[in-house]
A and B are shown apart, each in its own frame.
Chain A
Amino acid sequence: MLQRCEACGAFAYPAREACPACLSAGLTFVDAPRRGALLAETTARVPSDVYFRERAPWRIGLVRMDCGPTMVAHLHADCIEGAPVLMSFQLDKSGQAVAFARPERETPNMADDRQWREMTADPKFRRVLVTNGRSLIGQEAAAALKAAGAKTVFVGVSEPWRPFAGEQLLRGQAGIEIVTLDAADEKSATDLAADIGGKVDILVNTTEYVRPGGLLDRRGTGIARDEIDQAYLGFINLAQAFGPAMRMRGADGINSSAAWVNILSVYALANWPAFGAYSASQAASLSLSHCLRAELRPGGVKVMNLFTGPVDTEWFQTVPPPKVAPRAVAQAIVSGLRGGLEEVYVGDVAEEIRQRLAANPKALERELDR
């Protein structure tokens, strides 16, 4: 995204008050064409910044964008002076958006670049914990992460004495390790962290507890308590058990800890009364995720939230389509980690809620109550 002049169409960078070409004040941020050419490159061998000093040598360069501006960018190792590059803004370890230049065309093992991996949370080579293997999303996520090159995928299963659909398939896969985990139980989370807490590079919180109903059609707080137990307290248990070690291991070599992923309902953003109490539990988790993001940031560990509309699972049986396939959620996890993103909206419903909320929150509230 760069500023573009509404009057003459010129792109401006760095951000400014008036268009450098025509002095118009109408500058708005828009998606800019991403192509450019590497004008010059240099390698910082003894950077003064402590972060880069530890990671030196570090390549940076000047990129002339096809759309006009020239930018300083971090460079992929395969970028060659004079050759075309593709630019993107990436979130660095401190959560800051920085310009990054990659070769225009795919090169061998392109995603393995050292500087690129600093900006992303690619599951390749990493060890991942998927917290709930009882759910379809958990099972799909485990398979997708494994296929994306994760070294080991630990899959949490609560109440191991209780069989579940898909269990045989999950148990049979190489590189997938079933572990006992009931995130809603403090001791269970702590016990597992004692075993594998030092080697969880990516934690994918696939807690899933969906029940219909709001306030008046339910009796008592039993279900609401379960919702809070699973979504909110489970989150806290996982964060307290795994968070500190992950924060300590943000710079632990190739498979350093990299990211924490939450799968949230998009109704965390705006209450859907048909699943009203569930929406509230998701809103609480969303708020908690922002706290976790701030607390993990000093260690360079990202927090990625995936927002979904109703997923094609049993508890959304009565909800008409469109629904999100669990596999689509799993694929979005992988692509989000590869891109080093903080927020991903999966499917049409989630995207629509996001846009409508930005456009008119009161109208969205009214519409959701039908």
Chain B
Amino acid sequence: MQGKNLLELAGAVSSGAVRVVDLTFTLSPDFPVIVLPPEFGQAAPVRIQEISRYDGRGPAWYWNNVTFGEHTGTHFDAPIHWFTGKDLPNNSVDTMPAKDMIAPACVIDCSAGAAQDPDFLLTVPLVEAWEAKHGRIPERHWVLLRTDWSKKGWRDYANLREDGAHTPGPNPAVMKWLVEERGIIGFGTETIGTDAGQAGHFEPPYPAHHFLHGAGRYGLQCLCNLDQLPATGAVIVASPLKIQNGSGSPLRVIALVSVN
């Protein structure tokens, strides 16, 4: 690509011809985090503590100390997060190729199905139907599952019941197929986790984590504003914090969308 084209892109962003859609929830203590059975270790919640706020602790400046687990807020999953990806090269957020941080996306709208059934599952036939309309999913594209789940109140968003979370996600077959037959770069969701709420009971358990990370691919979760993306053509910028040997991190995810 010519340097001139890049400048054109910058100009298009500036003029609004290319819209920048923020797919990120605000990182705050109030946002739900994944809940594991209490006998397992838990993600540290997001905490924001003032160091000073133009006061005796620092008269002219405001700043905070922030603590959080790697998998809080809108966040990125690297292959090292799952046992299937533990031995892959460059499998952590600090060693993954920087070029993987920018890639196009296919957005599959399942909002109608998810509205009917909180345990809605994406399947191969559903993706094939989407392909019939929008074309075959190209390699190294993100597949983003739109469910409009991000528009819910936080209690319904987490949707925890006695037997765990009930939120939509992919079934095992479609994950295997997307990774092996379509060569996607990653899979993104609006829910807490790339997998469905009840995915612990699937075979294999947590198929999105299992297949994505086993093949060196990535996950994005707790995304919002997916309803503002076209089915194809958006470009996702997702660069996680460069945490040493990190398994993931909260991050700012943006999508570039051509207005025409």
Chain A residues with a Cβ under 8 A of chain B: 159-163, 182, 184-188, 222-223, 225-226
A184: which B residues are within 8 A, CB to CB? 45, 47
B49: which A residues are within 8 A, CB to CB? 186
Task: List 7 additional A-B contacts (Cβ < 8 Å) besides A160-B154, A222-B41.
Answer: A161-B154, A162-B155, A163-B160, A184-B47, A186-B50, A187-B48, A188-B29
Interface secondary structure of B, over-half rule: mixed
B155: which A residues are within 8 A, CB to CB? 160-163
Known: A159-B32, A160-B155, A161-B154. A185 touches B41 (CB 8 A): no
Q: How far is the CB of A36 from chain B (nearest CB, A)?
A: 55
Contact B29 A187 (CB under 8 A): yes
Q: How far is the CB of B123 from chain A (nearest CB, A)?
A: 28
Contact A185 B29 (CB under 8 A): yes
For the complex, give the distance between the alpha carbons of A226 and B44 in Å. Answer: 8
What mask results when residues 85 to 110 of chain B are scored 1 for a CB within 8 Å of chain A, else 0?
A: 00000000000000000000000000
Q: How far is the CB of A160 from chain B (nearest CB, A)?
A: 7
Q: Which range holds the interface residue count of chain B? A: 10 to 19
A186: which B residues are within 8 A, CB to CB? 47-50
For the complex, give the distance between the alpha carbons of A186 and B46 in Å. Answer: 11
A160: which B residues are within 8 A, CB to CB? 154-155
Q: How far is the CB of B151 from chain A (nearest CB, A)?
A: 15
Task: Determine whether B4 belongs to the interface, using a CB cutoff of 8 Å to chain A.
Answer: no
For the complex, give the distance between the alpha carbons of A277 and B41 in Å. Answer: 16
A185: which B residues are within 8 A, CB to CB? 29, 45, 47
A226: which B residues are within 8 A, CB to CB? 42
For the complex, give the distance between the alpha carbons of A196 and B49 in Å. Answer: 21
Contact A162 B35 (CB under 8 A): yes
B158: which A residues are within 8 A, CB to CB? 161-162
The listed residue (A163, A182, A223) touching B29 by CB distance below 8 A is A182
A225: which B residues are within 8 A, CB to CB? 44
Contact A161 B45 (CB under 8 A): no
For the complex, give the distance between the alpha carbons of A185 and B35 in Å. Answer: 18
A162: which B residues are within 8 A, CB to CB? 32, 35, 155, 158, 160
A163: which B residues are within 8 A, CB to CB? 155, 160-161
B187: which A residues are within 8 A, CB to CB? none
For the complex, give the distance between the alpha carbons of A186 and B35 in Å. Answer: 21
Task: Determine whether B142 belongs to the interface, using a CB cutoff of 8 Å to chain A.
Answer: no
Task: Determine whether B218 belongs to the interface, using a CB cutoff of 8 Å to chain A.
Answer: no
For the complex, give the distance between the alpha carbons of A162 and B30 in Å. Answer: 11
What mask results when residues 141 to 163 of chain B are scored 1 for a CB within 8 Å of chain A, else 0?
A: 00000000000011101101100
Q: How far is the CB of B117 from chain A (nearest CB, A)?
A: 20
B32: which A residues are within 8 A, CB to CB? 159, 161-162
For the complex, give the distance between the alpha carbons of A222 and B47 in Å. Answer: 15
Closest partner residue, chain A, to B46 (CB atom): A185
For the complex, give the distance between the alpha carbons of A226 and B47 in Å. Answer: 13
For the complex, give the distance between the alpha carbons of A222 and B161 in Å. Answer: 26
